[in-house]
Amino acid sequence: MRIPGVLDAVRRAWEGQPELSLPTLFGILANQGVGWGASDEDLLRALSTTERTHPGTLPLVDARVTSRYLLLTESPEHRVMVDPWRVIVRRPGVSAQPGVWDYATIRPAFVGSPLVITSAEGIDHRLGVLARISLLDASPDPGIADLTGIRRRDLGDAVYLVTLRDGDTVVLSHGFDRFTAGRRSLDHEARPWDSLVACSPGQPLVVRSPGGGRALEYAEVRDILLLEDEPLSE
């Protein structure tokens, strides 16, 4: 039964990233040290890590997740962060305020299937066909306690959503995008930034401009939420 077990582990790992060719998948495993002379046990451990990082099926407990995941969908495209508390939905390449809402259930979802999430109000949100699942945090906290002092150049691939007490929201990545909802329109401010002089709940958001520029002060921070980051790895 050794060969069927190894092949089944390859299948599960590949199902999480079906856009990869099989040689590419094995190239990734080789970069993790699984190459000529590796044992079956070495291969199985690496495949298990790959499957956990990019599972083919979204792990659910009572129709909810217990970890934090980034879900990419197609037709239409969305970037969906889901954790035990909320859903945050963004459209790639669209300057629009992210949607943040509480959810009741997630229908069984696997790569290649429709992603349907039911809100706490009982509304079904159909968010496209699931293309990839990435584990961001196996044991997440509800929010981020403090980003004070972080510099743009040190942010890496992380993207944060900062909600302010005046109702504005800020998407913080290598850019700074602030959204202000008016009565009939949504105002969007995009600007470069260098560092966060202050960014913690209960304090004003203070952002330093590049080149030693002046610090800009915004309203008090209400919440800091992680939208995406490097997938978790062992």
Share the mean pLDDT of the chain: 90
The pLDDT of residue 94 is 58
On the question of a cis peptide bond just before residue 76, with omega within 30 degrees of 0, the verdict is yes
pTM, to two decimals: 0.85
The pLDDT of residue 2 is 81
The pLDDT of residue 231 is 64
155-168 per-position pLDDT tens digit: 888 899 999 999 89
Domain 68-137 has CATH 2.30.29: yes
Whether pLDDT at 79 is above 90: yes
Cα separation, 128 vs 30, whole angstroms: 33
Q: Which residue shows structure tokens 């451990």?
A: 45
